[in-house]
Amino acid sequence: MKRTLRSVLFGVIGVAVLLGFAQSAQAEGKPTLYLPTPPGQTWEVIQGYNCGTHDGWGRLSFDLVNTEGPTTGAPIYAAADGTIFFWTGRSGSLILSHGDGYYTMYSHLSSWIEAPVGTSIKRGQYIGNAGATNPTPTVPHLHFTFFRGDGPYAYNRQPVALAFAEGHDFPDTGKCNQYAGTQLVANGEADNIAPTLEWAGPAERTWVNSGRLDWQLADNQSILGFSQNWDAPAATEKPQFAANTGYLELIAGQHTAYVTVWDAASNQASFQREIWFDPTAPSLPTTTVTESLKLNGSQASLVLNWQAASDADSGIKGYQVYFGTDPLGTSEWFVAEQQVDVGLREPGFYYFRIRSEDNAHNFSEWTTLQTVQIN
């Protein structure tokens, strides 16, 4: 009987120890949260725990607004390491999973990172911008919730009281609109580093006849987007395109590309690049004398002349010429001026053919400018 009692006691102790380990492991699994707002900015709780729209598993939520500038467009950051669990554009809600059944939700975002479910997110990584996305109109704010859920789909969701590593702890007392009016400042230095741009495509101030101007953007945190225009900065106060890469199709002539870039912290940088583009072939040269020459063989050399071709954009670089017996002959013989000395030739019938080249390496068609009979 003693042995049985001892077994029961050890069994109870064992269960208690196991439960203790389980509770300890569960406590260790709870992530440490940091404020998801921009470092150094003051944000205020305009709706706190319980009451109003904060009920059910979202009753321990905060609605936060920026007290130092616009809330709409303000960058929002992950409160802890995790993975993307869910996204819906209907309410602008992004949910991150932090393991062990813990989740954070960021709602009413006006924009968000475009990444598939399961993508790893680091604490402090940019995840979107605050806004007013909602099925019905709402004051721009960030709705932030911390909760637990069971299984792969987070069933039986339960709210978790908020606490932040910046030194803020918000236990639930059941009070309606608890903690409304509280002001919070995220730790860390504000991101004052401007984004950068790397060009690809045509070299600057060099004539080209094809291609397009591309660029790649980079930032120490995250790119919000860019605006682009030819010959003047785009007249926009926010990005035209939410992307890290962009391009402009070239237009004929000498033009300057302007690209304005914003990062998630609203740092802005402007870039420009002068591109010379000539997609059009130059005109054909014309002869200055009769198109058919007859010469005797006593001449020491033969110098041929022609009128200059024209090119509206890049200008004429020079001419490729051919002098020979082939009526469709071509060659790589290049001259910059409007004349060429073809030297002393044997008696025979010759074709002088030519094509013009512009500074963008466009060529006219080959044309027979003169025929020469040497007797």
The larger pLDDT score, comparing residue 224 to residue 372, is at 372
- Please name the helix (run of DSSP H) or strand (run of DSSP E) that holds residue 16, with its range, or none: helix 2-29
- Cα–Cα distance between 267 and 214 in angstroms, integer? 22
pTM of the model: 0.63
Q: β-pairing, 142-150 with 292-295? A: unpaired
Q: What mean pLDDT is reported for the chain?
A: 88
pLDDT computed for residue 16 by the predictor: 37
The SS3 call for residue 207 is strand
Looking at residue 361, its pLDDT comes to 97
Least confident span in 82-91, 93-102, 187-196: 187-196
Q: Can you give the pLDDT at residue 177?
A: 96
CB atoms within 10 A of CB 311: 21
Rounded CA separation 121/206 (Å): 43
**Cβ atoms 214, 185 nearer than 8 A:** no
Q: Is 299 exposed, middle or buried (0-12, 13-18, 19+ CB in 10 A)?
A: exposed
**Counting Cβ atoms within 10 Å, is residue 110 exposed (0-12), middle (13-18) or buried (19+)?**
middle
What confidence tier does 375 reach under pLDDT thresholds 50, 70, 90? confident
Residue 136 pLDDT grade (very low, low, confident, very high; cuts 50, 70, 90): low
Q: Give the percent of the chain with pLDDT over 70.
A: 90
Beta bridge partners of 297: none
Amino acid 192: pLDDT: 81
The half-sphere exposure of 197 on its side-chain side, counting CA atoms within 13 A, is 26
210-265 pLDDT, tens per residue?
A: 999 999 999 887 788 899 999 999 998 889 998 899 999 999 999 999 999 998 77
Q: How far apart are CA 187 and CA 39, in angstroms?
A: 5
- What is the structure's pLDDT at 188? 73
Pair of tokens at residue 172: 């639930």
Instruction: Report residue 100 as tokens.
Output: 């062990």
CB neighbour list of residue 206: distance below 8 Å, 6 or more residues apart: 276
User: In the chain, pLDDT over 90 holds for what percent of residues?
Assistant: 68
β-bridge pairing 212-218 and 196-200: antiparallel
From 79-93, 182-196, 230-244, 344-358, the region with the lowest mean pLDDT: 182-196
| Cα 135–Cα 140–Cα 142 angle in degrees, nearest 5 | 90
* Average pLDDT for 140-158: 96
Decide which of 40 and 248 is more confident.
248
> Quick one: pLDDT band at residue 24, thresholds 50, 70, 90?
very low
Q: Residue 196 in contact with residue 269, Cβ under 8 Å?
A: yes
Torsion of CA 343, 344, 348, 352, to 10 degrees: 10
- Residues 332 and 335: their CA atoms lie apart, in Å, by 10
DSSP code of residue 123: T
Q: Tokens standing for 289? A: 């004398």
Q: How far apart are CA 102 and CA 31, in angstroms?
A: 8
pLDDT at 300: 61
CA dihedral of residues 211, 215, 216, 222 (deg, nearest 10)? -150
Q: Is pLDDT larger for residue 75 or for residue 314?
A: 314
Backbone angles phi, psi at 34, to 5 degrees: -115, 150
pLDDT of residue 156: 96
- The larger pLDDT score, comparing residue 112 to residue 352, is at 352
**Is residue 6 predicted with pLDDT exceeding 70?**
no
More confident residue, 134 or 123: 123
